[in-house]
Structure 1
Amino acid sequence: MGDSPKDKLLRPGGGGGGGGGRSSFSFGGFGSVGEDVLESVLRRLPAATFASAACVSRSWHGVCKRILSRPKLASALSLNPCAQIALEEVVDKVLSEPICPHFAIVNVGNNVNMTDALQYIGQKLGARTPLVISADSGIIGVDALTNQVKEVEGGIDDVGSSYNNEDSDNAERGIILTVGFVPGLKVDVVPLLHLEEANEDRLMVDKFITDMMEYSVAVSGCSTPVGVIMFGDGAAEIKSAAEKLDYAMPLEAAIVGDEKGTFQYRSADSSRYISAIGQHTISAVALVFAKDRHKCPGLGDIKFHVAVSDGLSAIGPRHRAASVKVGDCCTLLTARREGQEEILDGEGILNDIRDELENRVEYPDVYIGVTKRRIYEVGAEKAKLMSFLSFHGVMGGVEYLRVEGSGIESGDSFQFYYSDPAAALVSCHKVSARLRSLNLGSDSDCSDKMGNVVVSAGKPWVFGGFIFSSFGRGESFFNDVNVDSSPFVENFPGVPVAGIFCGGEIGRCSPSLSMQDSEEETPVHRVCHVYSTVYLIMSYTPAPPGATVTS
């Protein structure tokens, strides 16, 4: 099969035809056209036409490559109640300008068939584009028709629908498509397999992490990727996988994602990860970004930054688990208050916090934050003792305290937490200040009125971002609109951003954006969150003067 125009676009010297001069061009009705005029025309072409234009001649290819000489994120949201029209709207919007798809993320409401969307968008983007599509509890993005940022909880447009449809049957609708062009990086999707055989039922976490590292080594020569975006399916508890990934990856690797959702995906080469494996399902996927060892010398560097806004407040005394039983999708436990010997049943444990909760907030969601000290190792890597703070929803209790999930052991200490809008709002403001302190420019700061790139060497700027927010947040939580997206939008106005409301936020805060006031001797890691919002900021630092992108 021959390469598509999109596949040829970034290949030096790609496309047909002769070289031609760089000051003028002769093709069809253009006659002799100045380079500046041609560049201005090509910038206005939709993506497919632009890719075809890049194949006209080497000179045209060079102009097209200069236009796409820096990273780009294109994203669009549609709330059209007709799923097919919504699909067409976001695809048309995202591909209305020049872009070469290196990856795509699609987030949909329940009215969109994921298989149909995967096939439709996959055909539009080309067979080599890795793609993840997920169904979530809400979407965040820029409306394709109004260009306004919207946070849509459960698919219901709480800030006013451009379709004026009041029918409640259209709840949980909507779609957001995000396409990324990241020159200097390679991207693919790696699955987390769940092995299901007669004598074995387990998540293949070590293989998941090893596959990511091996992919990164293959394309970059380094086992550490730039970033990982995970999507879990909710059927299997992947906290352990996220925690082990935190152990295995150095701090410079960004880790974000959605712990519980529904997804489909397409890898550039799925056989690399699944061949020779027995009966299995796929419990999660990771979109892996790694440096390209063959990147052009004139390209700058892409970096990922992660910030986390918390939405919980601690309450009551600390406890230590005494007896632990694993039930059906839950854990049953008794505990002691720290410093006391009496073992408390479920009712006794809950009595410690009931009065305090009644005086603080109406109908909060309550969790226990369990500090787990575990030894982690992957393959021949050196084993390491690490502490993680893991949250489990409180389901009630009389004889035992019943909490969601598993992984708790006797001797683990825990404290109660409750969802707190006031604390979450304060945390959002702090995240906004932290993002501002990065002193990053925005994509719009780097273009003149003609769309030409105007950058300062060594000055990083933001070209896009992703938001992973708890489905418990949003307007109903803050009693205000667009609070979760505000830290990004306020700091980087006009920069493409996309996000979801999800059932468990994954995010490891970058050291430069951490809001911890002091370093503990034995730090407690947090990679899986509840009632939080995780921000992934994608920045680009141009190459030094004198370095040019090969065309």
Structure 2
Amino acid sequence: MSQMEQQQALATASLKGNRKRQTTPFAMINDDLLLNILSRLPAVSFASAACVNKYWNGICNRVLSRPKLSSALSLNPSPEVAVGEVLDEVLAEPIRPHFAIANVGGGFRLAEVLRLMSKKLGSKTPIIVTTASGIIGRDARTGEFKEAKLMLSHCYDLNWDGEEDEDTEDTNGIVLTVGFVPGLKVDAIPLLQPTKELRDARIEKFVMDIRDFTSSASGSTTPVGIIMFGEGRANMKPILNVLDFAMPLETVILGNERSRFLYRSESDYKDVRGNKTCFTCAIALVFANDKDKSCGIGNIQFNVALSNGLSTIGPKYKAASVKVNSCDHTTWLTARAEGNPAVLDGQRILDDINRKLENRSDAPDLYIGVTTRRNFSIGSKKPKLMTSLTFHGVVGGDEEYLYVDGIGIKTGDYFQFYHSDPATALSSCSEVTMKLKDFKSDKSSKNVRHMSDFDVNRVREEVFGGLIFGCYGRGESFFKRPNIDSSPFLENFPGVPVAGVFCGGEIGRSSSSMTGKFHKDSDSCCCLHVYSTVYLVMSYTPSELEY
């Protein structure tokens, strides 16, 4: 039993033993004064106060009636101290945890972090603890906002065997996010695979598990949002392609492609990590509307924006021959340049691209963006042809082949080269800042004259929190200035809690008007990005009964 649950039980027992005692000093306090007192309590004491009696519970519900996000960061090298610092900070004010996400450095033991968090947050709160190559948030001790890079660890080693090292030189740290989201149901749903080889049937079951949870919570199969974390050894591209096919565009999907994680869910799913007969490829934190929510509760919206850090270079190519090396998950290509019938080897292709980059002072990372057209289906649903853009890092080339990371490319697929570009990323960050400014202006407009009832409700919409998923290649070393990736959110929503991570692949999919086309040079859908930053803006439209 958690500390919060223990205090709630004691408060309930005390209430039963003293039910007839009504002439206490607190009985003379009016509603406003009691509300003021209760709103100043830390979360654990607030939870106990809510159990005193129905009157106090009603006042507590007034204190905590709208959604709330609380986050904190600590770079203390001691896991126990760091976890204690962020927990103390996020629980310093009233909050009822509906979910928690902790992102930690490679030197922290995930099981220990999960144990310490479970002790504080209660037995029914869905919790995901993941590794990250960097963390973003406000320092629990100093209040300073930081984008802290952590040393890359074995969370990106595809040969990692599941055992955590006793000694590590990785920079340690943790960022914790706890959310209270009335009107939504939240749970952690895993993609389980008996072997390390992911099969289509398991992806289909994963989708059906998400739909089943959403249907039981809301009566609909459409989640509000999905925050995903992929296991470092799993290929997330086919998973995201199927999710993109199966989920309506209004469902936001975002997260980190490559990490290690442990989780605890409210449902009957179990954490099977470490079980040699089962491999957890991904974990999804699913947010679904609550069909049983009280009539006075408004609606929570997930809004997504994206800053792109890639620029195209060179002509378009068509894959002439494709070989797959299953041992190292690479693909070997020859190709024809658009308008040229000659088949080009890897060396000739790279020589041409390098000539176009010779005026660059830095050495940018190279990728190919492959346009794929594939049929997808779920269950008995009729197959549908979908066009997607997927990125593959360029490994090298010789007089035979161009070598790229990843698999899934077929002969006849078209691709184009992309390179990391700080100027493009900086310009894109500025565009996101302006889009968020317009978003904020639209929601906070005071001029409601001539507006319909629906529009009036929209201007009452308020932002209560955010999450950031940025590429590890970005940050201060990329921009030559600190906190650029966080600036669009910080400039537009100062004081609103926001936290995030630097990723090994940024998941981002949304129909939000703030995203437009994720990549201006492609008409294809893209769910998995590189050298980008994905922003989740969480907003709330109050019920008319709240006014």
Using the size of structure 1 for normalisation, the TM-score is: 0.87
| Structure 1: distance between partners of 2:441 and 2:170 | 37
Taking the TM superposition and a 5 Å limit, the aligned residue runs for 1:16-165 are 16=15, 26=22, 28-154=24-150
Deviation, 1:340, is 2.0
Deviation, 1:516, is 3.6
Partner AA of 1:32 in structure 2: M
Q: Secondary structure at the match of 1:257?
A: strand
Write the deviation string for residues 6-49 of structure 1: whole angstroms up to 9, x where unpaired. 9989xxx99956999xxxx9575535111111111101111111
Kept in 1: contact 2:246–2:378 (CA 8 A): yes
Cα separation, partners in 2 of 1:2 and 1:538, compared to 1, 3 Å:
closer
**Counterpart check, 1:469 vs 2:435:** no
Q: Secondary structure at the match of 1:425?
A: helix
| Structure 2: distance between partners of 1:518 and 1:118 | 37
Cα separation, partners in 2 of 1:271 and 1:174, compared to 1, 3 Å:
closer
Q: In the alignment, what sits opposite 1:178?
A: 177
Q: In the alignment, what sits opposite 2:318?
A: 320
Deviation, 1:380, is 2.1
Deviation, 1:242, is 1.0
Structure 1 range deviating more: 79-88 or 290-299: 79-88
| Structure 2: distance between partners of 1:460 and 1:88 | 34
Write the deviation string for residues 286-344 of structure 1: whole angstroms up to 9, x where unpaired. 00000001000000000001111100000001101111111122111111112222111
Deviation, 1:81, is 2.0
Cα separation, partners in 2 of 1:537 and 1:371, compared to 1, 3 Å:
same
Q: Secondary structure at the match of 2:123?
A: coil
Write the deviation string for residues 475-523 of structure 1: whole angstroms up to 9, x where unpaired. 0000000000001111111000010001000001433112349999x94
Partner AA of 1:121 in structure 2: M
Q: In the alignment, what sits opposite 2:157?
A: none
Partner AA of 1:60 in structure 2: W
Kept in 1: contact 2:187–2:265 (CA 8 A): yes
Q: In the alignment, what sits opposite 1:510?
A: 511
Partner AA of 1:118 in structure 2: L
Cα separation, partners in 2 of 1:338 and 1:8, compared to 1, 3 Å:
farther
**Counterpart check, 1:235 vs 2:233:** yes
Structure 1 range deviating more: 314-323 or 76-85: 76-85
Kept in 2: contact 1:333–1:401 (CA 8 A): yes
Cα separation, partners in 2 of 1:68 and 1:239, compared to 1, 3 Å:
same
Partner AA of 2:199 in structure 1: R
Write the deviation string for residues 232-251 of structure 1: whole angstroms up to 9, x where unpaired. 11101111111211111111
Partner AA of 1:202 in structure 2: R
Structure 1 range deviating more: 277-286 or 139-148: 277-286
Cα separation, partners in 2 of 1:386 and 1:16, compared to 1, 3 Å:
farther
Kept in 1: contact 2:4–2:120 (CA 8 A): no
Kept in 2: contact 1:442–1:493 (CA 8 A): no
Gaps of 5+ in 2: 153-167, 447-455
Kept in 1: contact 2:189–2:269 (CA 8 A): no
Q: Secondary structure at the match of 2:370?
A: strand
| Structure 1: distance between partners of 2:259 and 2:77 | 22
| Structure 2: distance between partners of 1:225 and 1:425 | 33
Q: In the alignment, what sits opposite 1:460?
A: 461
Gaps of 5+ in 1: 157-168, 446-455
Write the deviation string for residues 118-148 of structure 1: whole angstroms up to 9, x where unpaired. 0000110001000101111000001111222
Kept in 2: contact 1:440–1:462 (CA 8 A): no
Partner AA of 2:135 in structure 1: I
| Structure 2: distance between partners of 1:320 and 1:6 | 64
Kept in 1: contact 2:251–2:510 (CA 8 A): no
Deviation, 1:113, is 1.3
TM-align CA RMSD: 3.0
Q: In the alignment, what sits opposite 1:212?
A: 210
Deviation, 1:355, is 0.7
**Counterpart check, 1:331 vs 2:331:** yes
**Counterpart check, 1:369 vs 2:366:** no
Write the deviation string for residues 213-240 of structure 1: whole angstroms up to 9, x where unpaired. 1110011000000000000111011111
Q: In the alignment, what sits opposite 2:387?
A: 387
Q: In the alignment, what sits opposite 1:163?
A: none
Partner AA of 1:81 in structure 2: P
Deviation, 1:155, is 6.0
| Structure 2: distance between partners of 1:2 and 1:392 | 45
Cα separation, partners in 2 of 1:441 and 1:54, compared to 1, 3 Å:
farther
Q: In the alignment, what sits opposite 2:539?
A: 539
Kept in 2: contact 1:106–1:132 (CA 8 A): yes
